[in-house]
Amino acid sequence: MKNKKYHHGDLRNSLIEAGIELINREGASKLSLRKVAALCGVSQAAPYSHFQSKDDLLDAMRDYVIEQFIAVLENSIQGCKEQDNPQLLIEMGKSYVMFFIKNPQYYPFVFSQQCMEVNLSLDGDDTGNFPPFQLFKMKAVPILSKLGMSKEKIEDAIISSWATVHGLASIATMKNVHYDKDWETKIEDIIRNK
């Protein structure tokens, strides 16, 4: 490791993390490529050695955040004793919402480009499917099947559940939302109320 280095060494990852840092500081709307480069101590054009465009960097940052998101969801799954109990789906839902409540800037960022692949159907190819939804689907199908639901009902239930949880995350992370109760303790009631 040299002190003054022409080459940064790990610029690609540094740009991703610096970008996420800036998003947490002042939101995705105020992020600029040049600020990210400056935060990494490189010139304005340096990012173009690692990303084709600003959107390309944003995509990589999104992947990075979604990886954290997936880790949180999987952690909540492993916290469940019974892998075939419907409660597992509730726990996933709670984690889904809480992830964005704990990182409010992430919601508008992750879903700003509304162009992620989403396959709602139970059939079809799940490669490239929005990973959090794919994970939820994968866990939900056997659990709901065991309850004796028809395939069509299962598909509807999965879409409905995801919509509820996703909508809750959207609402809870709005800047001027007023809610006197504590989300963490209240959220299960709200999901169950379905």
Partner DNA sequence: AAAAATATCTTTACATTGTTAAGATTTTAT
Partner DNA sequence: ATAAAATCTTAACAATGTAAAGATATTTTT
Binding site for its own copies (CB under 8 A): 107-108, 111-112, 114-121, 124, 153, 156-157, 159-160, 162-168, 170-171, 173-180, 186, 189-191, 193-194
- The alpha carbon of residue 9 and the mean position of all alpha carbons in its chain are separated, in whole angstroms, by 28
CB of 31 to DNA, least distance (A): 7
Tokens for 193? 């109320």
C-beta closer to its own copies: residue 84 or 117: 117
Q: Are the CB atoms for 158 and 93 separated by under 8 Å?
A: no
Which of 5/178 has CB closer to its own copies?
178
Cβ distance to DNA smaller for residue 43 or 121: 43
Q: Shortest approach of its own copies to residue 91 CB, angstroms?
A: 17
Nearest in space to 119 (alpha carbons), one of 108, 110, 109, 127? 127
The CA R_g of the chain, rounded to the nearest whole Å, is 19
Residue 32 contact, options its own copies, DNA, none, Cβ 5-8 Å cut-off depending on partner type:
DNA
